[in-house]
Structure 1
Amino acid sequence: MEKQQKVLVAGASGSLGLEIVKVLNAQGRPIRALTSSDEGKEKLIPYTNDIWKADASKGGDAIANITEGVDTVISALGNSISLFTPNEKSFYKIDYQSNQNILRDAEKHGVKRFVYTSIKGADVEEDYTVARAHKLFEQALRATDINSTIIRPVGFFSGLHDLVIMAKRKVIPLIGDGSAKTNSIHHADLAKVVCRYVDEGPEVTEVGGPEIHTRLEMAEMIQETIGGKIVKVPEVIAEIGLKLPNFFEDIHEKLDYFKFVTTNDMIGEKNGNITFKEYLANLDKNQLP
């Protein structure tokens, strides 16, 4: 019987990473999981006993030889874009530097393949801080001899938690007229796409969910499920707000990218079965602040 190739999953205890681990485990693939917390380690114990707890952004001894004996690296490692989740480290430090440190180790140990979950917008000319870190790593990955697939999801359902949280506070802000379209995807459906490309795949693919909606339609679904009033914020007002003195850099960077994704069409190849309406219906509102 042919030996299954070992897969390293970086960011393994995050919402996407954990779903990837579950799919790989169901496939019977040997898994090495990287997480940065004890809580994350507990989540991973049912799926593998090869768990590394380390901060990849530190590089050096923290993750030395993490890819030894690994055939494929899957990275779902990245900073939160939620306004309600303060990031301890910058997007550059996590989304670029952490992945770059893993990539260096992968080159050292002759890893055959690297599957990287990036973000739609990483290829745009505008210099958004959130997207820039992904763009830098995409460039670094392509510069190596490692066979790779870059996956750019158009957005996660969980990325809209901020609107759900604000809906609980009776307001659903909508930048512009809400006509921009997207087909965001559930992280469990995205995990299946990621795992489809463990052995081979395209250089770059933009991935979306099963249904395309306007931003207004999605806001109305949130309103129907949670409540709250939809408040349209003219783009010009949003632009003025972004030009105010930047006292909270992390929030400012996230708002800048949020304006971009909510006022431009973000559509990728249709995948999965979980709809946004189903996601909202099954969301535990009590788990949200």
Structure 2
Amino acid sequence: MKVLIAGATGYLGRHLCAEYARRGQHVTALVRARARAPGHADLTVEAEATRPETLRGVMDGIDLVVSSLGITRQADGLGYREVDFQANLNLLREAEAAGVGRFAYVHVLNAQAMAEVPLVAAKAAFVTALQASDLPATVIAPTGYFSDMGDILAMARRGRVWLFGDGQGRLNPIHGADLAQAVAEATAARRGWVEVGGPDVMTQEEVARAAFAALGTTPRITHLPDALRRGALALLPALPRRIGGPARFFLTAMGMDMVAPRFGRHHLADHFAGLAQEPKARH
């Protein structure tokens, strides 16, 4: 089977390329710059998904498209509507024209409760378009990535973790390798919708304590009134997208449980322990 991975240079995209290659699939990585191409791809295609004319013909002969394409911390002037929605819609239209067998998209858990967050709204708009297409689709809604938890470890390195409210909100973030396996299993089974998280359900307080434990330092956790989180959400729309966009998603998610069915074998405590051995933690 021939699989095209969009967003192949990102955290999850690289794991997706590796997972499908491990399964013996022919992997095509769609990248904006060939120099950043992941090592597990059989073929690298350079294209700008925001420019549909560059996608012409790249999906000919492709059986499955998997997209984890979206803005994280990019600062190239593009917005969520241009990337998370329109670029993925461009991919979908090209997949339809090429007769691709299935289109899989990595969404976000609890999107319906975060409709006011621009990042989530753009993703949800694309999911609506995908589900309206005649092309068979798989939507995967993960809780969050291990890579996102690096911010907690970074605070712990500085000596104190700040949490909103009582810190009892629950989450089970998932490692990129485990999520890639879940995506591959979902597409192989032709499932339409899959919610998935990591193997450990933890409170925000427990995540903070795990970060301090990995560093071997005394936990110092300060609980801020949740009203401050809500107040910050009201002010963030006035900030530049590269700052306000990720913060709106993070602060909104902090106000709810982000728990999905458990999957995988990678544990957050082990991830923190590995990062703690490095001079500077990767985010």
Deviations, residues 142-200 of structure 1 (Å, cap 9, x unaligned) = 01011111000011111112222233333322122111111111111101011112333
Q: Distance in 2 between matches of 1:96 and 1:170?
A: 39
TM-score, normalised relative to structure 2: 0.91
Q: 1:205 aligns with which of 156, 172, 194?
A: 194
Deviates more, 1:138-147 or 1:193-202: 193-202
1:33, CA displacement in angstroms?
Answer: 0.8
Distance in 1 between residues matched to 2:33 and 2:150, nearest whole Å: 23
Match of 1:253 in 2: 245
- 1:119–1:131 CA contact under 8 A, matched in 2: yes
Q: Secondary structure of 2:223's match?
A: strand
Q: 1:242 and 1:68, CA in 2 relative to 1: closer, same or farther beyond 3 A?
A: same
Aligned length: 277
SS of the residue 1:149 aligns to = strand
| 1:32 equivalent in alignment to 2:28 | yes
User: Using a 3 Å threshold, how does the CA distance of structure 1 residues 193 and 101 change in structure 2: closer, same or farther?
Assistant: same
Q: Could you tell me which runs of 5 or more consecutive residues in structure 1 were left unpaired when the two chains were aligned.
A: none
Q: Given that residues 80 and 118 in structure 2 are in contact (C-alpha distance below 8 angstroms), is that contact kept between their aligned partners in structure 1?
A: yes
Aligned to 2:14: 18
Give the partner amino acid of 1:22: A
SS of 1:178 mapped into structure 2: coil
Distance 2:100 2:243 in 1: 36
Q: CA deviation at 1:65?
A: 1.6
For residues 11-31 of structure 1, give each alpha carbon's deviation from its aligned partner in whole angstroms, at most 9, with x where no partner exists.
112121111111111221111
Deviations along 1:229-275, one digit per CA (max 9) or x if unpaired, are: 32222111122223337232332222222122122111111100111
Q: Residue 231 of structure 1 aligns with which residue? A: 222
Greater displacement, 15-24 / 246-255: 246-255
Kindly provide the amino acid, as one letter, of the partner of residue 242 in structure 1: L
Q: CA deviation at 1:117?
A: 0.6
2-structure distance, mates of 1:39, 1:232 = 44
Q: Does 1:56 align with 2:49?
A: yes
Q: Which SS does the other structure have where 1:123 is aligned?
A: helix
For residue 252 of structure 2, give the secondary structure of its aligned residue in structure 1. Answer: helix
* Paired residues of 1:72 and 1:111 also in contact (CA < 8 A): yes
Q: Which shows bigger deviation, 50-59 or 264-273?
A: 50-59
Match of 1:275 among 251, 267, 272: 267
Q: Which amino acid aligns with 2:25?
A: R
| Contact residue 150 and residue 281 of structure 2 kept, 8 A | no
* 1:106-185 mapped onto 2 (5 Å cutoff): 106-124=95-113, 126-185=115-174
Runs of 4+ in structure 1 over 6 Å off? none
Question: What is the letter of the counterpart of residue 223 of structure 2?
Answer: K
Q: What amino acid is aligned across from residue 28 of structure 1 in structure 2?
A: G
Tell me how far apart the structure 1 counterparts of residues 102 and 3 of structure 2 sit (CA, whole Å): 10
Letter matched to residue 40 of structure 1: R
- Contact 2:34 2:45 survives alignment (8 Å): no
1:7 paired to 2:8: no
Decide whether aligned partners of structure 1 residues 14 and 218 sit closer, same or farther in structure 2, where only a CA change above 3 A counts: same
Q: Is the 8 A contact 1:223 1:230 kept in 2?
A: no
Query: Within 2, Cα distance between the matches of 1:86 and 1:174?
Result: 26
Question: AA paired with 2:258?
Answer: M
- Superposed CA RMSD: 1.9
Instruction: Judge conservation of contact 2:31–2:45 (CA < 8 Å) in 1.
Output: yes
1:77 is matched with which residue? 69
Instruction: Give how far 1:285 is off.
Output: 4.8
Q: In the alignment, what sits opposite 1:286?
A: 280
The correspondence for 1:87, drawn from 60, 75, 79, is 75
TM-score normalized with structure 1 length: 0.89
The offset of 1:34, in angstroms, is 0.6
Distance 1:169 1:251, change over 3 A: same
Which amino acid is 1:201 matched to? R
Q: 2:112 & 2:225 partners in 1: Cα distance?
A: 26
Residue 242 of structure 1 corresponds to 233
